[in-house]
Chain A
Amino acid sequence: MTSSLLYALAGAILCGIGLFGLLWLSHLLRKLLAFNIMGSGVFLVMVGLPQHQGGPDPVPQALVLTGIVVAIAATALAVVLIRRYFHLSGMTGLEDEPASPERGPE
């Protein structure tokens, strides 16, 4: 197994862990961290996979840089929303709502 394939494999495993966390954890901050782990996994796959064609490839590096910026923006937005949501409702998860938005009186 070459080292670049190892990177890609590690990325795939990170993706799996992140996906698991995103779907199964209920605390919003944990969900957000899981999203970041999954994002790192994707970036690792992106940088790791194309290298096996001889020498590092500059394009994925540029892409991952952009991807990191996007992920930071998304994380910042999520943190602001979670904080405000916690202040208003006192809850840290989306489940067990007293009145779900689909059925509750407006």
Chain B
Amino acid sequence: MTLWLMAGLLFTPLAWAVLTLLTDFSRGRLVTWGGILVQVLVSLGLWLTVARDGGFHYGLGGWQAPLGIELRVDGLAVTFVLLTAVVASACGLHAGVYIDPDKPWHRYFWPLFWFLWSGLNVVWLGGDLFNLYVGLELISLSAVGLVALGGKANALRASLRYLLAALLGSLVYLLGVALMYGQFGTLSIAGVVSWLGVHPVPAGSGLALALMVTGLALKTALFPLHRWLPPAHGIARSPVSALLSALVVKASFYMAARLWLELGEPLGNLAAAQLVGLLGSAAVVWGSWLACRQPQLKQVVAYSSVAQIGYLFLLFPLTYSVSESVSLQAQQGITLQVISHALAKAAMFLAAGNLILSAGSNRVDALTGVSRFLPFSLFSFGLAGVSLMSLPPTGGFAAKWLLLQASLGSGQWWWILVMLIGGLLSAAYVFRIYRASFLESAGPDRFYHPARSLEVIPMILALLALGLGLASDQVLSVMALPFEEGGSP
């Protein structure tokens, strides 16, 4: 049973990718709809399996590490697999209607979409450093391709900038992997941890961790390495922006977080942890401030991503040399933040895409009067905004609440100020969009009305982000599932 689930999860996306490469846009859409159904069922099946039996290690094709690919299937990984299935299928369904099928190069959306999805699954489940690198490269290359689908010169400029940043980030990460292997003679994270359990910490091995985290921070667009993100996320088609903001940046963050949680205590130090937290805080403040000042709607949402990513890096100081319970709270808070931001930001980008489609312009001031004619998309946008502002009862609130408690519990009160300022500024940029759209314009309805299905999808995602706050206990309980060492399929 597990064999089929793993095969379904990792290989069928590749099969869909190859299959859609051969077809035109509308046939590709049919294949994708079928594929989405399979992926959602398989992800759900794996999630249920783990919820029932606990996590396990899985050697792909019966080959064990170091030459085989070993996968680590635990509660957190299957939660993210399920999250990916939800967000990616929403974006896929939205894109099927949103993207213009008449432009010939748009048919490449589907293969890139599927390569991206399989790369994401590899990263969530990957257990060794090198396969994580391969998964990450698969994600980056398909994400760059998706950004370039815009076709215009400025889309290509944004995608080239993105590509160079992503390549530099992965090389720095790979250099860290090389040093790590040279030092410890193993690539699996668990192997390094058990090596460190027996031997004393060798001098200079912190450098390897620092390189890996730096490379991943560049790929996650942590301040001040965030400059490539807003152009790329702003210029891409809306379903693509949603995928990039909701899932792609989370993949590299997830790797950095797992490295830190396993190896941060022996190899890291307090100054590094505080520095990363400080950069995250700077991202929150600076990103939100710039989001308030952008003239274009999607740039506002993209800079908001920079800010929301900043919160994630508070994980580093809040889990370094603190008590077990505080660390757990911080991890839970960050996980909820990842999930709620993924849902809310996907909803926001899809809704923004609808608003741009109807207003016919990317600018915020072009939204004047849209509230009277397109209330549904605007409502989804606002609902997602409520989660970003982290007002109760949204998932964003539950996340910030846990982070608040972790900050207080570890005596690092200064992070609370960051969350306060970030919350206020995010309210400012969400209300700025609202203010523009509630201005009354004279004259008749000049707006294009998108298909109803385009409006329903962001609404569902925004409602999920809202509901996450109410169901956070259930979500967290699956993540905390016991992990069976040495379990086999």
Contact = CB atoms under 8 A, between A and B. Distances in A.
B187 A42 contact: no
Interface centre among A53, A59, A103 (most CB of B within 10 A): A59
Contacts of A102: 230-231, 234, 294, 299
A72 B391 CA distance: 47
Contacts of A50: 181-182, 185
Interface centre among A28, A46, A66, A106 (most CB of B within 10 A): A106
Interface string B138-166: 00010011001000111011111101100
Nearest to A73: B141
B134 A66 contact: yes
Interface string A7-39: 010000001001100100000100100010011
A1 interface: no
Interface string B344-364: 000000000000000001110
B24 interface: no
B130 A63 contact: yes
Interface centre among B67, B154, B171 (most CB of A within 10 A): B171
Contact of A88 (B134, B156, B230): B156
A42 B171 contact: yes
Given A50-B185, A102-B299, A35 B175 contact: no
A5 to B, nearest CB: 10
8 contacts: A38-B168, A46-B182, A49-B181, A50-B181, A60-B181, A67-B174, A74-B167, A84-B148
Contacts of B163: 74, 77-78, 81
A88 B156 CA distance: 9
B156 A84 contact: yes
Interface residues of B, number: 44
Nearest to B145: A77
A70 B134 contact: yes
Nearest to B297: A106
Contacts of B171: 15, 18, 35, 38-39, 42
B245 to A, nearest CB: 16
Interface of A: 8, 15, 18-19, 22, 28, 31, 35, 38-39, 41-42, 45-46, 49-50, 53, 57, 59-60, 62-63, 66-67, 70, 73-74, 77-78, 81-82, 84-85, 88-89, 94, 97, 101-104, 106
A87 to B, nearest CB: 9
Contact of A101 (B148, B168, B231): B231
Contacts of B133: 67, 70
Instruction: Give me the 9 closest cross-chain CB pairs, A-B, nearest first.
Output: A49-B182, A46-B178, A106-B362, A88-B153, A89-B153, A85-B156, A101-B231, A45-B178, A101-B154
Contacts of A103: 295
Nearest to B137: A70
Nearest to A31: B164
B157 A97 contact: yes
Q: Interface residues of B: mostly helix, strand, loop or mixed?
A: helix
Interface of B: 66-67, 130, 133-134, 137, 141, 144-145, 148, 152-154, 156-161, 163-164, 167-168, 171, 174-175, 177-179, 181-182, 185, 187, 230-231, 234-235, 294-296, 299, 361-363
A59 B66 contact: yes
B141 A81 contact: no
Given A39-B171, A42-B175, A84-B156, A77 B181 contact: no
Contact of B181 (A15, A39, A46): A46
A19 B235 CA distance: 27
Nearest to A45: B178
Nearest to A88: B153
Given A22-B168, A46-B177, A89-B153, 16 more contacts: A18-B171, A28-B160, A42-B174, A46-B178, A46-B181, A49-B179, A59-B66, A63-B181, A66-B134, A84-B148, A88-B153, A101-B154, A102-B231, A102-B234, A106-B296, A106-B363
A102 B362 CA distance: 12
A89 B157 contact: yes
B141 A85 contact: no
Interface centre among A53, A57, A67, A73 (most CB of B within 10 A): A67
Contacts of A59: 66-67, 181, 187
B11 to A, nearest CB: 18
Contact of B141 (A22, A74, A82): A74
Nearest to A38: B171
Nearest to B66: A59
Nearest to B366: A106
